[in-house]
Chain A
Amino acid sequence: MSILELENVTKAFDGVLAVDKLSLGFDEAKITALIGPNGAGKTTIFNLICGLIRPDSGAISYRTKNITGLAPWHVAQQGIGRLFQDVRLFERLTVNDNILAAFKNQTGENAFLSVVVPWKVVREERSFLERALQLLEFVGLADKANDLAENLSYGQQKLLSIARLLALDADVLLIDEPTAGVNPTMVASLLEFIRRLAKEGKTIVVIEHNMNVVVEIADWVCFMNQGQVESFGLPNEVLGDPEVRAAYIGL
């Protein structure tokens, strides 16, 4: 059952079609991998779903609600989270503050209330801090809680961006190249971790270039080329397709 659906979505940049009448659905609590050569339109799809760009035509719906053209913050509040390829941390904030900023429904984000009912904000903050620490322990960054995010190694930044995404507590996670730039020992635990999220009911869409990773974690694979879905199915089916192998993997 698709929880997130694109229907006949088209997007062109300066006349060049990045996404071409594409229809695609993502199953709840499953991991769908988007694969395809550079320029196939994978990241554009993420940007379309997140509301960073608007489709020229077509519709995007989430839990049968039309979310086409909603502002990015609004899409995120519906329960769709995004892990950026280039991490996009709040670099000059501490590791802890990166997580804390991500929690939803914070009374203290209203400046007026933060002055009028400071005790309520403090109480809330205490429970957010606890959850932040849990998330940091989860990704192994608890001892870095007070470091500035910009001082972490790239691998650690990636982990922090994942922890931050989890703080949002979204139901759908759009993950752009989770393993790029992460050292091999960490990749295994990262994948384990993504699988676990799917088991807990998160719907995961992942853009991934490493075919071993795709085979290992994906429930569904979607092969894209030139803005269209060329092939969609089980990992072995899609990756076994001679056309896909020829066009993409070069085998």
Chain B
Amino acid sequence: MNYLLHILTMINIYVILVLSLNLLVGYVGLLSLSHAAFYGIGAYISTLLIMKLGLGFLPALLLAVVGTVLLSYTISLPSLRLRGDYFVLASLGFQIIVFTILYNWIDLTRGPYGIPGIPRPIFFGIEINSIGSYFLFSGVIAAICTGLLYLIGNSPFGRVLKAIREDEIAAAALGKNIVRLKINAFAIAAGFAAAPGALFAGYLRYIDPTSFTVMESVFILSIIIIGGAGNISGPIVGTVLMIFLPEVLRFIGLPDAVAANMRQIIYGLLIILIMRYRPQGLSGEYRFE
């Protein structure tokens, strides 16, 4: 039972992460490889606020969101004027820089040693101390974030982002301030990536930079590619599948050494098959071209 609750908690965390990236990938049509960086920034800011300043979990989470949004401008202001492929490379650069900082700023982040002993969230005197209660707690936050992202995605803001995705020049000719809209979308996506960062840190009670690498960014992106982009259901289907899949593979009875490699191969194959036969993903709206 705990095992299942653990997986479901991870799904809660990843759903927010994937849905927030979906705002960029599925709505604006921007492939971003920096999402794990924002996830990590959120985890570190909230953890440091809790451990160094003694803040409660929720204020720390909210401040982590604000801080991550502000940091998002350091990449979005210079790079969102770039088009397509160049933006992908710029986001990759940002991801690498953030990882390097987390890894080497030892005074602040303890670098590769990581930060252990992160206290459990406490609400109104109640400590979230069981895996079941953390599942519920993360579920509530995931539901709130999903609801907000749904509202945003289906708002005129979401619609104009899709218009930009389809044809930037036409959208500009209709008076839409493309660069500002993109920068806002990027800030929102970054802010929503910070929340699962805080949840992840509070759940494992230990963080180190290896959870927030380029590979993690690629993983988050591949969940969207497999599940589908441009709506709410695609990212959710993708998250559930991609978090459950390795567990299913474990039950097939492969030896652990082989299982890890098999997982990568199966992910790779899945992406190739989806791109070939179902470019909109399992449940997405937006077809990659």
Decide yes or no: A108 and B155 within 8 Å by CB, A90-B162, A90-B166, A90-B167 being known contacts: yes
Residues of B within 8 A of A92 (CB): 162, 166, 286-287
In the bound complex, CA of A84 to CA of B172 (Å): 12
Chain B residue with the shortest CB-CB distance to A72: B172
In the bound complex, CA of A43 to CA of B160 (Å): 26
B144-200 contacts to A (CB < 8 Å): 148, 151-152, 155-157, 159-160, 162-163, 166-167, 169-178, 181, 184-185, 188
B157 touches A109 (CB 8 A): yes
Residues of A within 8 A of B148 (CB): 115
Provide the A143-183 mask, 1 if CB < 8 A to any CB of B, else 0.
00000000000000000000010011000000000000000
In the bound complex, CA of A167 to CA of B181 (Å): 20
A93 touches B151 (CB 8 A): no
| Range for the number of chain B residues in contact with chain A | 20 to 34
* Distance to closest chain B CB from A241 (angstroms): 33
B170 touches A90 (CB 8 A): yes
B155 touches A101 (CB 8 A): no
B167 touches A101 (CB 8 A): no
Chain B residue with the shortest CB-CB distance to A106: B156
* Residue A2 interfacial (CB < 8 Å): no
| Range for the number of chain A residues in contact with chain B | 35 or more
Chain A residue with the shortest CB-CB distance to B187: A111
Residues of A within 8 A of B185 (CB): 111
In the bound complex, CA of A239 to CA of B120 (Å): 83
In the bound complex, CA of A84 to CA of B160 (Å): 19
A109 touches B286 (CB 8 A): no
* Distance to closest chain B CB from A121 (angstroms): 6
Main secondary structure of the interface of A (DSSP, over half): helix
Residues of A within 8 A of B162 (CB): 90, 92-93, 97, 101
Residues of A within 8 A of B167 (CB): 88-91
In the bound complex, CA of A60 to CA of B223 (Å): 49
In the bound complex, CA of A202 to CA of B28 (Å): 33
Provide the A91-117 mask, 1 if CB < 8 A to any CB of B, else 0.
111000110111010111111001100
In the bound complex, CA of A97 to CA of B159 (Å): 7
* Residue A24 interfacial (CB < 8 Å): no
Q: A71-B177, A76-B172, A101-B174 are in contact. List 8 more A-B contacts (CB 8 A).
A: A73-B173, A108-B156, A111-B155, A111-B184, A111-B188, A114-B151, A115-B155, A164-B174
22 contacts between A and B (CB under 8 A): A72-B169, A76-B172, A76-B176, A90-B166, A91-B166, A92-B166, A93-B166, A97-B159, A101-B163, A102-B174, A104-B175, A106-B160, A108-B156, A109-B155, A109-B176, A111-B155, A111-B185, A111-B188, A114-B156, A115-B148, A115-B155, A125-B156
